[in-house]
Each structure stands twice: as structure tokens, then as C-alpha cells.
Amino acid sequence: MEIIVTNGFIALIIIIILWRFLYYFFNKVLKYNDLDWKRLEYIWIFAGVFGLLVMVSKNKIEHNKNKLVLIEKDLNIHYRNIQYSLSSWTNCFQYNKTENSPKDIEERQFDQDLICSWSKKTLILILESQNNKKKINLEQLKLDFKTNFITEDYHYYLSQINTINELIDNYNNIQRNNYINNFIINVLNVIGALFLILAFAIRLAVATHNVNKLKIKHNITTL
């Protein structure tokens, strides 16, 4: 049935065949009088409007597909940012212990080594998440620091990961709905096209009746 929507020539052929059939059916089988033919004017208008509304209603579904593309772009940006933030040169380094070093330098170094190791493991999870669009388990990323020196960076990383998880939720929800929506779009396209074809065919049948009526009045051969 989708060929009706995608192939204009096929749709035109169907309109012509349906037009001739409906004219014969209304005129010879049902034997419509002038009042019946006038009533058909309402029917073809309603059929055309309904077909148009059905085809337009799929725009909301199409909007969700566009939204999926935007979420994916946003996700890729956040993935790049967190990968940069968790890079070794950002988190893995040694402090030089001098006379002017703070008293808790060793504790700070411990925390820095901890976040270094953590960032490497987390980076692997990030890459896996990017490949399969699955959420990152924040529970397994918890750390206990000896100082508050690096906690701000750590919480910033977690907030980035949490944002990624939220985007993945949205992405997967829309993705699941798209399987159903694609089917709905195809159905709406076909239904809308069929009603428009029916409207055109009825209108042509009515026009044929009107023309033939005039030809009979003027003694001209009818269609």
C-alpha cells in the first residue's frame, strides 16, 4: 500500500480507475438522483479534509525523530567533554614535596592518585556507554577522599556523567517509541492518501455527472 504514497503515477491511475467505477456505481447501480449527487459534494469534501488532517497529524511523530538527532548530538558533545576531563594528563600527576608544601601534601597526593586511577576506569565505562547507549552506574563510581582538595573536580565529573545518563534515558525512550511511530507514520500516510484519492475520485464522478447532464440538455454525446 505504501506505493500509493511514494509513486504519484500509481496514485493517478487509481484515481482514474476509481473515478470511472464510482461514476458507474452511483449512476447505474445506485441510480442516484440530482439530490444524491449534490450530497456527494459534502462527502468528497469531508473525505479530502480528513485525508489531509491524517497526513498532517504525523508531523508530531516526525518531530520526535528530529528530537532524537538533537539528543544524539548533545550526547556526543558531553561524551567528548567528559573524555577530555578524565584524560590522564588532567588527573594523573605527582606533586613536588618542598618546604612550602601544605602539611597534607601526602594526603593530597593520595587523593590525586585515587582520582587518577578512578578516571582511567571511568573512562572505559564512558567509552562503553558511548558505543551501546547504556547508562553509567554511578554507584560503582563513589570515592572517599582524605581531603577536600579534589572533591570539587570529582563532583563535577559526576554531574557530567549524570547529565549523560539523563540524555541516554531520553534517547532510549524516544528510540523505543520510534519503532512504533514508524509503523504509525506509514499507516497514516496510506490512510491519508487513500482518503485524498477517494475525495478526488468522488469529485471527478460528480463533475462527470454535471457535464453529462449539460450534454444531455444540449443533445451532446455523454461520457
- In the three-class reduction of DSSP (H, G, I as helix; E, B as strand; rest coil), residue 164 is classed as helix
C-alpha–C-alpha distance, residues 166 and 138, integer Å: 12
The pLDDT value recorded for residue 91 is 86
Q: Please tell me which residue, 179 or 18, carries the higher pLDDT value.
A: 18
pLDDT of 59 > 70? The answer is no
The pLDDT value recorded for residue 46 is 92
The pLDDT value recorded for residue 4 is 60
Query: For 154-192, what is each residue's pLDDT tens digit?
Result: 999 999 999 999 999 998 888 777 666 677 777 777 888
Residues 57 and 187: beta-carbon distance below 8 Å: no
Residues 153 and 115: beta-carbon distance below 8 Å: yes
C-alpha–C-alpha distance, residues 201 and 85, integer Å: 64
Q: Which residue carries 449527487 as its cell?
A: 37
* Percent of the chain surpassing pLDDT 90: 37
C-alpha–C-alpha distance, residues 187 and 82, integer Å: 42
Report field, pTM of the whole predicted structure over 0.95: no
Cell of 193: 492518501
Residues 172 and 133: beta-carbon distance below 8 Å: yes
Residues 147 and 108: beta-carbon distance below 8 Å: yes
pLDDT of 2 > 60? The answer is no
Cell of 88: 590522564
Query: For 106-163, what is each residue's pLDDT tens digit?
Result: 999 999 999 999 999 999 999 999 998 899 988 888 888 999 888 899 999 999 999 9
Residue 142 contacts by C-beta under 8 Å, 6 or more apart in sequence?
none
pLDDT of 1 > 60? The answer is no
Residue 35 contacts by C-beta under 8 Å, 6 or more apart in sequence?
none
Q: Rounded mean pLDDT of 7-16?
A: 84
Residues 86 and 156: beta-carbon distance below 8 Å: no
Ranked by mean pLDDT, the top range of 2-11, 64-73, 79-88 is: 79-88
C-alpha–C-alpha distance, residues 214 and 26, integer Å: 18
Q: Please tell me which residue, 183 or 92, carries the higher pLDDT value.
A: 92
Q: What is the 3-state secondary structure (H, E, C) of 130-141?
A: HHHCCCCCHHHH
- Gyration radius from the chain CA atoms: 34
Q: Using the CB atoms, write b or e for 106-145: b if 16+ within 10 Å.
A: eebbebbebbbebbeebbebbeebbeeeeebeeeeeeeeb
Q: Please tell me which residue, 110 or 61, carries the higher pLDDT value.
A: 110
Confidence of residue 92 (pLDDT cuts 50, 70, 90): confident
C-alpha–C-alpha distance, residues 120 and 220, integer Å: 90
Q: Which residue carries 593530597 as its cell?
A: 108
pLDDT of 21 > 90? The answer is yes
The pLDDT value recorded for residue 6 is 62
The pLDDT value recorded for residue 95 is 84
